[in-house]
Amino acid sequence: MLRSQQSQGPAEIHLQQAGLHFRPGDEVVSFVARNLEPYRGFHRFMRALPLLHQLFRVCACHVYLTDPFVLSWSLLEAMACGAVVIGSATPPVQDVILDGVNGHLVDFFDAEALARRIAAVLADPVSQQPLRAEARRHVVERFDLQTVCLPQQLALVDWLLG
């Protein structure tokens, strides 16, 4: 269970079940930008993330929320690494995540539902193993560069060239 200290004292986050305590100075990375636009450096931050793909392999869950828009590579990378993904029940996330099969979906606007789902995943990580395996299998089967995406792109180019 996640518990945040809301007091006037030093900020702390406690992950009780894992026995982890985070305080100022701990190795926690955050990034905030209102619209994740280039002039705030978002694209530079995203380019640094491939150096951390191991992060997806050790995280208890990866939260992916988006308005209906294009699907980000980060969702597919997290799934390919076998992360438990909690995503927003919005297109195009629903095109990739099947709720309870290869990830979890929550209403984009329901912060309580998101918090409950995160807490449930953290409380019982063993039950998430089948979702982790299915997430990886699903992404490899549908989005692998060498066996799926590149051959389809080359076939499209061949077709366009006639």
34 pLDDT band, cuts 50/70/90, is: low
Average pLDDT over residues 144-157: 95
Q: Which CATH superfamily is domain 52-161 in?
A: Glycogen Phosphorylase B; (3.40.50.2000)
Show me where the domains of the chain are located: 52-161
Q: Are 15 and 122 in contact (CB under 8 A)?
A: yes
Between residues 10 and 3, the one the model is more confident about:
10
Q: What are the percentages of helix, strand and coil residues in the chain, rounded to 5? A: 50, 15, 40
- Which residues on neighbouring strands pair with residue 24, listed in sequence order? none
Using 50, 70 and 90 to split pLDDT, how confident is the model at 2? very low
The mean pLDDT of 82-91, rounded to a whole number, is 91
Q: What is the pLDDT of residue 155?
A: 97
pLDDT confidence of 22, banded at 50, 70, 90? confident
Better-scored residue on pLDDT, 140 or 81: 140
Model-wide pTM > 0.75? no
Specify the 3-state DSSP secondary structure of 15: strand
